[in-house]
Structure 1
Amino acid sequence: MASNAQRRDITRDRIVKAAASLLRDQGPAAVTTRRVAQEAGLQPPALYRLFQDKDALLDAAAEHVFAEHVASKQTVAPSDDPLEDLRAGWNTQIGFGLANPHVYGLLFDPARARDTPAQDQGVRILAERVHRVAAAGRLRVSEERAVNLIRSAGTGTVHTLLTLPPEQSDPHLADAAFDAIARAILADEPAVPTRDPAAVVAAFRTLLPELPSLTEAEAALLDEWLQR
Protein backbone atom coordinates (compact mmCIF):
# COMPACT_ATOMS: atom_id res chain seq x y z
CA MET A 1 0.00 0.00 0.00
CA ALA A 2 1.32 3.44 -0.93
CA SER A 3 2.28 5.76 1.90
CA ASN A 4 0.82 9.22 2.32
CA ALA A 5 4.00 10.73 0.90
CA GLN A 6 3.85 8.46 -2.15
CA ARG A 7 0.19 9.31 -2.77
CA ARG A 8 1.03 12.98 -2.41
CA ASP A 9 3.85 12.67 -4.97
CA ILE A 10 1.60 10.83 -7.40
CA THR A 11 -1.11 13.47 -7.08
CA ARG A 12 1.41 16.27 -7.52
CA ASP A 13 2.82 14.60 -10.62
CA ARG A 14 -0.66 14.35 -12.17
CA ILE A 15 -1.32 18.00 -11.47
CA VAL A 16 2.02 19.20 -12.84
CA LYS A 17 1.69 17.13 -16.03
CA ALA A 18 -1.82 18.47 -16.63
CA ALA A 19 -0.69 22.04 -16.02
CA ALA A 20 2.38 21.56 -18.24
CA SER A 21 0.24 20.35 -21.13
CA LEU A 22 -2.07 23.35 -20.85
CA LEU A 23 0.83 25.77 -20.51
CA ARG A 24 2.69 24.34 -23.49
CA ASP A 25 -0.34 24.30 -25.80
CA GLN A 26 -2.42 27.29 -24.69
CA GLY A 27 -0.30 29.52 -22.46
CA PRO A 28 -0.44 30.65 -18.81
CA ALA A 29 -4.01 31.94 -19.05
CA ALA A 30 -5.24 28.39 -19.65
CA VAL A 31 -3.67 27.13 -16.42
CA THR A 32 -6.65 27.71 -14.14
CA THR A 33 -7.52 25.71 -11.06
CA ARG A 34 -10.67 24.39 -12.69
CA ARG A 35 -8.98 23.37 -15.97
CA VAL A 36 -5.99 21.74 -14.31
CA ALA A 37 -8.14 19.82 -11.85
CA GLN A 38 -10.39 18.64 -14.67
CA GLU A 39 -7.43 17.49 -16.81
CA ALA A 40 -5.84 15.73 -13.84
CA GLY A 41 -9.08 14.03 -12.81
CA LEU A 42 -9.04 15.66 -9.39
CA GLN A 43 -11.06 18.09 -7.33
CA PRO A 44 -9.79 21.70 -7.12
CA PRO A 45 -8.98 21.48 -3.39
CA ALA A 46 -6.23 18.99 -4.24
CA LEU A 47 -4.34 21.79 -5.99
CA TYR A 48 -4.63 24.16 -3.04
CA ARG A 49 -3.08 21.57 -0.73
CA LEU A 50 0.02 21.21 -2.94
CA PHE A 51 0.58 24.64 -4.48
CA GLN A 52 0.50 27.96 -2.70
CA ASP A 53 -0.83 29.87 -5.70
CA LYS A 54 -1.02 29.90 -9.50
CA ASP A 55 2.52 31.22 -9.84
CA ALA A 56 3.87 28.21 -7.95
CA LEU A 57 1.92 25.89 -10.24
CA LEU A 58 3.13 27.70 -13.36
CA ASP A 59 6.73 27.47 -12.16
CA ALA A 60 6.36 23.73 -11.57
CA ALA A 61 4.76 23.23 -14.98
CA ALA A 62 7.47 25.18 -16.80
CA GLU A 63 10.17 23.29 -14.92
CA HIS A 64 8.56 19.98 -15.91
CA VAL A 65 8.60 20.83 -19.62
CA PHE A 66 12.17 22.09 -19.46
CA ALA A 67 13.30 19.04 -17.49
CA GLU A 68 12.03 16.80 -20.29
CA HIS A 69 13.99 18.89 -22.78
CA VAL A 70 17.20 18.69 -20.73
CA ALA A 71 16.76 14.94 -20.26
CA SER A 72 16.57 14.48 -24.03
CA LYS A 73 19.85 16.41 -24.44
CA GLN A 74 21.56 14.03 -22.03
CA THR A 75 20.74 11.06 -24.25
CA VAL A 76 22.81 12.50 -27.13
CA ALA A 77 26.31 11.02 -27.14
CA PRO A 78 29.15 13.46 -27.87
CA SER A 79 30.74 13.31 -31.32
CA ASP A 80 34.41 13.57 -32.20
CA ASP A 81 33.98 17.28 -32.98
CA PRO A 82 33.40 19.45 -29.87
CA LEU A 83 32.70 22.54 -32.00
CA GLU A 84 29.90 20.81 -33.88
CA ASP A 85 28.49 19.55 -30.58
CA LEU A 86 28.51 23.13 -29.27
CA ARG A 87 26.61 24.34 -32.34
CA ALA A 88 24.17 21.41 -32.11
CA GLY A 89 23.46 22.29 -28.48
CA TRP A 90 22.83 25.91 -29.48
CA ASN A 91 20.40 24.86 -32.21
CA THR A 92 18.58 22.55 -29.83
CA GLN A 93 18.17 25.26 -27.23
CA ILE A 94 16.98 27.85 -29.77
CA GLY A 95 14.56 25.30 -31.20
CA PHE A 96 13.13 24.57 -27.76
CA GLY A 97 12.56 28.25 -27.05
CA LEU A 98 10.80 28.87 -30.35
CA ALA A 99 8.65 25.75 -30.01
CA ASN A 100 7.71 26.54 -26.39
CA PRO A 101 7.31 30.32 -26.15
CA HIS A 102 5.05 30.23 -23.09
CA VAL A 103 7.39 27.96 -21.16
CA TYR A 104 10.48 29.88 -22.24
CA GLY A 105 8.89 33.17 -21.23
CA LEU A 106 8.26 31.91 -17.71
CA LEU A 107 11.66 30.29 -17.27
CA PHE A 108 13.67 33.29 -18.43
CA ASP A 109 11.51 36.17 -17.21
CA PRO A 110 13.88 38.28 -15.04
CA ALA A 111 11.00 39.10 -12.71
CA ARG A 112 10.53 35.39 -11.96
CA ALA A 113 14.19 34.37 -12.19
CA ARG A 114 15.15 31.48 -9.93
CA ASP A 115 17.45 28.51 -10.13
CA THR A 116 15.77 25.18 -10.83
CA PRO A 117 17.25 21.68 -11.05
CA ALA A 118 16.57 21.46 -14.80
CA GLN A 119 18.09 24.87 -15.52
CA ASP A 120 21.14 24.03 -13.42
CA GLN A 121 21.55 20.75 -15.30
CA GLY A 122 21.19 22.55 -18.62
CA VAL A 123 24.03 24.90 -17.66
CA ARG A 124 26.18 21.93 -16.64
CA ILE A 125 25.63 20.30 -20.03
CA LEU A 126 26.66 23.52 -21.76
CA ALA A 127 29.70 23.83 -19.50
CA GLU A 128 30.75 20.27 -20.37
CA ARG A 129 30.59 21.07 -24.07
CA VAL A 130 32.58 24.26 -23.59
CA HIS A 131 35.13 22.32 -21.55
CA ARG A 132 35.67 19.91 -24.46
CA VAL A 133 36.28 22.89 -26.76
CA ALA A 134 38.81 24.30 -24.29
CA ALA A 135 40.56 20.93 -23.98
CA ALA A 136 40.93 20.89 -27.77
CA GLY A 137 42.81 24.21 -27.57
CA ARG A 138 40.11 26.18 -29.39
CA LEU A 139 38.87 28.50 -26.63
CA ARG A 140 40.30 32.03 -26.46
CA VAL A 141 38.40 33.09 -23.32
CA SER A 142 37.80 31.41 -19.97
CA GLU A 143 35.26 28.61 -19.86
CA GLU A 144 33.12 30.64 -17.46
CA ARG A 145 32.97 33.61 -19.83
CA ALA A 146 32.23 31.38 -22.81
CA VAL A 147 29.31 29.76 -20.97
CA ASN A 148 27.89 33.12 -19.92
CA LEU A 149 28.26 34.60 -23.41
CA ILE A 150 26.50 31.64 -25.01
CA ARG A 151 23.69 31.71 -22.46
CA SER A 152 23.08 35.44 -22.79
CA ALA A 153 23.21 35.34 -26.58
CA GLY A 154 20.86 32.37 -26.71
CA THR A 155 18.30 33.97 -24.43
CA GLY A 156 18.43 37.23 -26.40
CA THR A 157 18.13 35.45 -29.73
CA VAL A 158 15.05 33.50 -28.68
CA HIS A 159 13.42 36.60 -27.17
CA THR A 160 14.07 38.60 -30.34
CA LEU A 161 12.74 35.92 -32.67
CA LEU A 162 9.62 35.46 -30.55
CA THR A 163 8.84 39.19 -30.50
CA LEU A 164 9.61 40.11 -34.09
CA PRO A 165 6.55 40.78 -36.27
CA PRO A 166 6.02 37.98 -38.82
CA GLU A 167 6.99 40.23 -41.72
CA GLN A 168 10.35 40.95 -40.04
CA SER A 169 11.17 37.37 -39.12
CA ASP A 170 14.78 36.40 -39.88
CA PRO A 171 15.31 32.63 -40.29
CA HIS A 172 19.08 33.11 -40.30
CA LEU A 173 19.32 35.20 -37.13
CA ALA A 174 20.12 32.28 -34.82
CA ASP A 175 22.93 31.06 -37.07
CA ALA A 176 24.36 34.57 -37.34
CA ALA A 177 24.23 34.99 -33.57
CA PHE A 178 26.10 31.74 -33.01
CA ASP A 179 28.72 32.70 -35.58
CA ALA A 180 29.24 36.02 -33.79
CA ILE A 181 29.68 34.26 -30.45
CA ALA A 182 32.03 31.72 -32.05
CA ARG A 183 34.25 34.53 -33.33
CA ALA A 184 34.36 36.02 -29.85
CA ILE A 185 35.24 32.86 -27.93
CA LEU A 186 37.04 30.56 -30.37
CA ALA A 187 40.61 30.53 -31.63
CA ASP A 188 40.94 30.07 -35.38
CA GLU A 189 42.90 26.84 -34.90
CA PRO A 190 44.26 24.72 -32.03
CA ALA A 191 46.32 26.81 -29.65
CA VAL A 192 49.98 27.49 -30.42
CA PRO A 193 51.79 29.65 -27.83
CA THR A 194 53.08 32.17 -30.37
CA ARG A 195 49.66 32.61 -31.97
CA ASP A 196 47.03 32.75 -29.25
CA PRO A 197 48.25 32.75 -25.63
CA ALA A 198 44.67 33.12 -24.34
CA ALA A 199 43.68 29.86 -26.00
CA VAL A 200 46.73 28.15 -24.50
CA VAL A 201 45.72 29.36 -21.04
CA ALA A 202 42.13 28.16 -21.51
CA ALA A 203 43.35 24.75 -22.66
CA PHE A 204 45.86 24.47 -19.81
CA ARG A 205 43.18 25.21 -17.20
CA THR A 206 41.34 22.08 -18.30
CA LEU A 207 44.40 20.01 -17.34
CA LEU A 208 44.71 21.26 -13.75
CA PRO A 209 42.63 18.42 -12.22
CA GLU A 210 45.01 15.94 -13.89
CA LEU A 211 48.20 17.33 -12.31
CA PRO A 212 48.77 15.04 -9.28
CA SER A 213 51.92 16.86 -8.16
CA LEU A 214 49.87 19.91 -7.12
CA THR A 215 47.93 20.14 -3.87
CA GLU A 216 44.34 21.36 -4.03
CA ALA A 217 45.43 24.78 -2.76
CA GLU A 218 48.27 25.01 -5.28
CA ALA A 219 45.97 24.06 -8.15
CA ALA A 220 43.44 26.69 -7.02
CA LEU A 221 46.16 29.36 -6.86
CA LEU A 222 47.50 28.43 -10.30
CA ASP A 223 43.98 28.54 -11.71
CA GLU A 224 43.53 32.02 -10.27
CA TRP A 225 46.76 33.19 -11.91
CA LEU A 226 45.71 31.69 -15.23
CA GLN A 227 42.36 33.45 -15.12
CA ARG A 228 44.13 36.76 -14.61
Structure 2
Amino acid sequence: MSTTNTRTRILEVATELVAGSPDGDISTRAVCEAAQVGAPALYRHFGDKEGLLSAVVDHGFERYLATKRERDESTDPVEDLRRGWDSHVEFAVRNPNLYRLMNSPAMRTPPAAALESHRILTRDLERAAAQGRIRVAPELAAQMIMSANVGVALMLVARPATFDDADMSRRVRDAVHASILTPDAAPVEPGVAEPGAAEVPSAAARLSALLREAQGPGLSTAEAALMKEWLDRVANARPGE
Protein backbone atom coordinates (compact mmCIF):
# COMPACT_ATOMS: atom_id res chain seq x y z
CA MET A 1 0.00 0.00 0.00
CA SER A 2 1.41 3.43 -0.96
CA THR A 3 2.05 6.19 1.57
CA THR A 4 -0.87 8.24 0.21
CA ASN A 5 -3.24 5.27 0.28
CA THR A 6 -2.19 4.39 3.82
CA ARG A 7 -2.93 7.89 5.06
CA THR A 8 -6.27 7.99 3.24
CA ARG A 9 -7.24 4.58 4.59
CA ILE A 10 -6.44 5.57 8.18
CA LEU A 11 -8.39 8.81 7.77
CA GLU A 12 -11.46 7.12 6.28
CA VAL A 13 -11.50 4.44 8.99
CA ALA A 14 -11.12 7.03 11.76
CA THR A 15 -13.97 9.08 10.28
CA GLU A 16 -16.24 6.02 10.22
CA LEU A 17 -15.36 5.14 13.81
CA VAL A 18 -16.03 8.69 15.02
CA ALA A 19 -19.43 8.73 13.30
CA GLY A 20 -20.41 5.38 14.83
CA SER A 21 -19.05 5.98 18.32
CA PRO A 22 -21.62 6.53 21.11
CA ASP A 23 -19.71 9.56 22.38
CA GLY A 24 -17.63 10.47 19.35
CA ASP A 25 -14.38 9.30 20.93
CA ILE A 26 -12.07 6.70 19.39
CA SER A 27 -8.82 4.99 20.29
CA THR A 28 -5.76 4.88 18.06
CA ARG A 29 -5.60 1.14 18.69
CA ALA A 30 -9.10 0.65 17.24
CA VAL A 31 -8.19 2.77 14.22
CA CYS A 32 -5.02 0.77 13.57
CA GLU A 33 -6.88 -2.53 13.86
CA ALA A 34 -9.68 -1.42 11.53
CA ALA A 35 -7.25 0.07 9.01
CA GLN A 36 -4.91 -2.92 9.32
CA VAL A 37 -1.85 -0.78 9.93
CA GLY A 38 0.66 -0.55 12.72
CA ALA A 39 0.77 2.28 15.25
CA PRO A 40 4.01 3.69 13.77
CA ALA A 41 2.22 4.30 10.47
CA LEU A 42 -0.56 6.25 12.18
CA TYR A 43 1.85 8.40 14.17
CA ARG A 44 4.06 8.97 11.11
CA HIS A 45 1.14 10.43 9.17
CA PHE A 46 -0.73 12.28 11.94
CA GLY A 47 1.74 12.83 14.78
CA ASP A 48 -0.58 11.83 17.61
CA LYS A 49 -4.25 11.24 18.41
CA GLU A 50 -5.04 14.96 18.40
CA GLY A 51 -3.46 15.28 14.96
CA LEU A 52 -5.55 12.38 13.70
CA LEU A 53 -8.78 13.82 15.12
CA SER A 54 -8.00 17.25 13.68
CA ALA A 55 -7.54 15.63 10.27
CA VAL A 56 -10.85 13.78 10.70
CA VAL A 57 -12.63 17.07 11.40
CA ASP A 58 -11.08 18.76 8.37
CA HIS A 59 -11.89 15.75 6.20
CA GLY A 60 -15.53 15.66 7.30
CA PHE A 61 -16.01 19.43 7.19
CA GLU A 62 -14.54 19.72 3.71
CA ARG A 63 -17.84 19.08 1.94
CA TYR A 64 -19.58 21.74 4.02
CA LEU A 65 -16.88 24.31 3.31
CA ALA A 66 -16.90 23.43 -0.38
CA THR A 67 -20.49 24.68 -0.64
CA LYS A 68 -19.46 27.96 0.99
CA ARG A 69 -16.42 28.40 -1.24
CA GLU A 70 -18.38 27.74 -4.41
CA ARG A 71 -21.47 29.77 -3.60
CA ASP A 72 -22.22 32.92 -5.53
CA GLU A 73 -22.22 35.88 -3.18
CA SER A 74 -25.53 37.70 -3.40
CA THR A 75 -25.81 41.47 -3.49
CA ASP A 76 -27.24 41.24 0.04
CA PRO A 77 -24.54 40.24 2.56
CA VAL A 78 -27.14 40.19 5.35
CA GLU A 79 -29.04 37.43 3.60
CA ASP A 80 -25.74 35.58 3.11
CA LEU A 81 -25.18 35.86 6.88
CA ARG A 82 -28.60 34.34 7.57
CA ARG A 83 -27.99 31.47 5.17
CA GLY A 84 -24.54 30.91 6.63
CA TRP A 85 -25.97 30.54 10.15
CA ASP A 86 -28.65 28.09 8.99
CA SER A 87 -26.23 25.93 6.98
CA HIS A 88 -23.85 25.80 9.97
CA VAL A 89 -26.61 24.46 12.24
CA GLU A 90 -27.82 22.03 9.58
CA PHE A 91 -24.32 20.58 9.23
CA ALA A 92 -24.02 20.12 13.00
CA VAL A 93 -27.36 18.30 13.27
CA ARG A 94 -26.47 15.98 10.39
CA ASN A 95 -22.98 15.24 11.77
CA PRO A 96 -23.32 15.36 15.57
CA ASN A 97 -20.18 13.42 16.57
CA LEU A 98 -18.00 15.24 14.08
CA TYR A 99 -19.36 18.60 15.23
CA ARG A 100 -18.85 17.84 18.93
CA LEU A 101 -15.31 16.75 18.13
CA MET A 102 -14.66 19.93 16.18
CA ASN A 103 -15.58 22.03 19.23
CA SER A 104 -14.12 19.77 21.92
CA PRO A 105 -11.80 21.34 24.54
CA ALA A 106 -9.51 18.37 23.87
CA MET A 107 -8.69 19.91 20.48
CA ARG A 108 -5.92 22.22 21.65
CA THR A 109 -5.23 23.45 18.11
CA PRO A 110 -8.29 24.71 16.18
CA PRO A 111 -8.87 22.59 13.05
CA ALA A 112 -8.16 24.37 9.78
CA ALA A 113 -11.83 23.95 8.88
CA ALA A 114 -12.93 26.03 11.86
CA LEU A 115 -10.53 28.82 10.99
CA GLU A 116 -11.67 28.91 7.37
CA SER A 117 -15.32 29.01 8.40
CA HIS A 118 -14.56 32.02 10.60
CA ARG A 119 -12.76 33.78 7.72
CA ILE A 120 -15.76 33.29 5.43
CA LEU A 121 -18.08 34.75 8.07
CA THR A 122 -15.78 37.74 8.57
CA ARG A 123 -15.69 38.38 4.82
CA ASP A 124 -19.50 38.56 4.68
CA LEU A 125 -19.47 40.99 7.60
CA GLU A 126 -16.86 43.16 5.89
CA ARG A 127 -19.18 43.39 2.88
CA ALA A 128 -22.04 44.39 5.18
CA ALA A 129 -19.82 46.97 6.89
CA ALA A 130 -18.89 48.50 3.53
CA GLN A 131 -22.62 49.07 2.97
CA GLY A 132 -23.05 50.69 6.39
CA ARG A 133 -25.18 47.83 7.69
CA ILE A 134 -23.42 46.73 10.89
CA ARG A 135 -23.05 48.52 14.21
CA VAL A 136 -19.65 47.11 15.26
CA ALA A 137 -16.38 46.20 13.58
CA PRO A 138 -16.51 43.01 11.45
CA GLU A 139 -14.00 41.17 13.64
CA LEU A 140 -16.07 41.65 16.81
CA ALA A 141 -19.29 40.90 14.93
CA ALA A 142 -17.78 37.63 13.69
CA GLN A 143 -16.86 36.62 17.24
CA MET A 144 -20.38 37.40 18.48
CA ILE A 145 -22.10 35.49 15.67
CA MET A 146 -19.77 32.49 15.69
CA SER A 147 -19.95 31.99 19.46
CA ALA A 148 -23.76 32.11 19.39
CA ASN A 149 -23.98 29.94 16.27
CA VAL A 150 -21.72 27.26 17.76
CA GLY A 151 -23.56 27.42 21.09
CA VAL A 152 -26.94 26.83 19.46
CA ALA A 153 -25.59 24.03 17.28
CA LEU A 154 -23.97 22.27 20.24
CA MET A 155 -27.17 22.43 22.29
CA LEU A 156 -29.20 20.97 19.41
CA VAL A 157 -26.65 18.17 19.06
CA ALA A 158 -25.98 17.46 22.75
CA ARG A 159 -29.46 18.00 24.21
CA PRO A 160 -32.04 17.37 21.50
CA ALA A 161 -34.73 16.41 24.01
CA THR A 162 -34.46 19.79 25.76
CA PHE A 163 -33.79 21.96 22.72
CA ASP A 164 -36.61 20.65 20.57
CA ASP A 165 -38.08 23.91 19.25
CA ALA A 166 -37.53 23.94 15.51
CA ASP A 167 -37.61 27.75 15.50
CA MET A 168 -35.12 28.21 18.35
CA SER A 169 -32.08 28.52 16.10
CA ARG A 170 -33.78 31.11 13.90
CA ARG A 171 -34.91 33.12 16.94
CA VAL A 172 -31.40 33.24 18.38
CA ARG A 173 -29.97 34.05 14.94
CA ASP A 174 -32.31 36.99 14.51
CA ALA A 175 -31.65 38.27 18.04
CA VAL A 176 -27.89 38.17 17.58
CA HIS A 177 -28.10 39.74 14.14
CA ALA A 178 -30.34 42.51 15.54
CA SER A 179 -27.62 43.44 18.03
CA ILE A 180 -25.03 43.65 15.25
CA LEU A 181 -26.88 44.88 12.18
CA THR A 182 -28.47 48.24 11.57
CA PRO A 183 -32.28 47.90 11.45
CA ASP A 184 -32.96 46.77 7.88
CA ALA A 185 -30.77 49.56 6.55
CA ALA A 186 -30.47 49.85 2.80
CA PRO A 187 -26.94 50.11 1.41
CA VAL A 188 -25.60 53.61 2.00
CA GLU A 189 -24.55 55.49 -1.11
CA PRO A 190 -20.96 56.74 -1.09
CA GLY A 191 -20.68 60.26 0.22
CA VAL A 192 -24.07 60.26 1.98
CA ALA A 193 -23.73 60.80 5.71
CA GLU A 194 -25.90 58.94 8.21
CA PRO A 195 -27.45 61.46 10.64
CA GLY A 196 -27.66 61.03 14.40
CA ALA A 197 -25.17 60.11 17.10
CA ALA A 198 -26.63 56.60 17.25
CA GLU A 199 -25.27 55.97 13.74
CA VAL A 200 -21.67 56.87 14.62
CA PRO A 201 -20.60 53.25 15.38
CA SER A 202 -22.10 52.05 12.11
CA ALA A 203 -20.37 54.85 10.19
CA ALA A 204 -17.05 54.02 11.85
CA ALA A 205 -17.39 50.32 10.99
CA ARG A 206 -18.25 51.23 7.41
CA LEU A 207 -15.32 53.62 7.00
CA SER A 208 -12.94 51.02 8.47
CA ALA A 209 -14.18 48.43 5.95
CA LEU A 210 -13.92 50.86 3.03
CA LEU A 211 -10.38 51.90 3.98
CA ARG A 212 -9.38 48.25 4.22
CA GLU A 213 -10.80 47.59 0.73
CA ALA A 214 -8.97 50.62 -0.67
CA GLN A 215 -5.72 49.67 1.12
CA GLY A 216 -5.72 52.96 3.06
CA PRO A 217 -5.30 55.51 0.24
CA GLY A 218 -2.87 58.28 1.14
CA LEU A 219 -1.87 56.59 4.40
CA SER A 220 1.31 54.80 5.36
CA THR A 221 1.05 51.24 6.70
CA ALA A 222 1.44 52.53 10.26
CA GLU A 223 -1.11 55.31 9.73
CA ALA A 224 -3.63 52.88 8.21
CA ALA A 225 -3.21 50.50 11.15
CA LEU A 226 -3.70 53.34 13.63
CA MET A 227 -6.76 54.62 11.76
CA LYS A 228 -8.29 51.15 11.79
CA GLU A 229 -7.62 50.83 15.53
CA TRP A 230 -9.39 54.15 16.20
CA LEU A 231 -12.34 53.37 13.94
CA ASP A 232 -12.79 49.89 15.42
CA ARG A 233 -12.68 51.36 18.92
CA VAL A 234 -15.47 53.79 17.99
CA ALA A 235 -17.45 51.05 16.24
CA ASN A 236 -17.19 48.66 19.18
CA ALA A 237 -17.89 51.18 21.95
CA ARG A 238 -20.96 50.48 24.05
CA PRO A 239 -23.63 53.19 24.26
CA GLY A 240 -22.65 55.84 26.78
CA GLU A 241 -18.93 55.03 26.73
TM-score normalised by length of structure 1: 0.86
TM-superposed CA distance for 1:185, in Å, is 0.2
Give the number of the structure whose residues are more often helix, by fraction.
1
Does residue 43 (structure 1) correspond to residue 37 (structure 2)? The answer is yes
**Equivalent position of 2:158 in the other structure:** 163
Of 110, 133, 137, which aligns to 2:132?
137
Of 58, 61, 69, which aligns to 2:53?
58
**Equivalent position of 1:194 in the other structure:** 195
TM-superposed CA distance for 1:218, in Å, is 1.4
Which of 25-34 and 141-150 deviates more? 25-34
Alpha-carbon separation, structure 2, partners of 1:165 and 1:212: 51
The Cα offsets for residues 2-51 of structure 1, whole Å up to 9 and x where unpaired, read as: 9xxxx42332122112211332344535666345643x4x3344435434
Alpha-carbon separation, structure 2, partners of 1:224 and 1:29: 42
TM-superposed CA distance for 1:111, in Å, is 3.6
Kindly, what percent of the aligned residue pairs are identical? 34
Alpha-carbon separation, structure 2, partners of 1:33 and 1:222: 54
**RMSD of the TM alignment (CA)?**
2.4
Of 224, 228, 241, which aligns to 1:223?
228
Q: How does 1:162-181 map to 2 (within 5 A)?
A: 162-166=157-161, 169-181=164-176
Does residue 208 (structure 1) correspond to residue 211 (structure 2)? The answer is yes
**Equivalent position of 1:33 in the other structure:** 29
TM-superposed CA distance for 1:143, in Å, is 0.8
Change (3 A) 1:165 1:128: closer
Which letter does structure 2 place at the counterpart of 1:170? D
- Give the secondary structure class of the aligned counterpart of 2:224: helix
TM-superposed CA distance for 1:208, in Å, is 1.1
* Unmatched tracts of structure 2, length 5 or more: 234-241
**Equivalent position of 1:100 in the other structure:** 95
State the aligned residue count: 221
Asked if the contact 1:15/1:37 (under 8 Å) is kept, the reply is no
- Give the secondary structure class of the aligned counterpart of 1:162: helix
TM-superposed CA distance for 1:71, in Å, is 2.3
TM-score normalised by length of structure 2: 0.81
Alpha-carbon separation, structure 1, partners of 2:72 and 2:175: 26
Alpha-carbon separation, structure 2, partners of 1:225 and 1:55: 39
The Cα offsets for residues 122-141 of structure 1, whole Å up to 9 and x where unpaired, read as: 11111111111111110001
Change (3 A) 1:36 1:23: farther
Alpha-carbon separation, structure 1, partners of 2:89 and 2:175: 15
Alpha-carbon separation, structure 1, partners of 2:163 and 2:73: 35
Alpha-carbon separation, structure 2, partners of 1:12 and 1:154: 32
Asked if the contact 2:102/2:111 (under 8 Å) is kept, the reply is no
Does residue 149 (structure 1) correspond to residue 152 (structure 2)? The answer is no
TM-superposed CA distance for 1:207, in Å, is 1.3
Alpha-carbon separation, structure 1, partners of 2:229 and 2:44: 49
Alpha-carbon separation, structure 1, partners of 2:64 and 2:89: 12
TM-superposed CA distance for 1:78, in Å, is 0.5
Asked if the contact 1:62/1:103 (under 8 Å) is kept, the reply is yes
TM-superposed CA distance for 1:180, in Å, is 0.7
Alpha-carbon separation, structure 2, partners of 1:24 and 1:74: 25
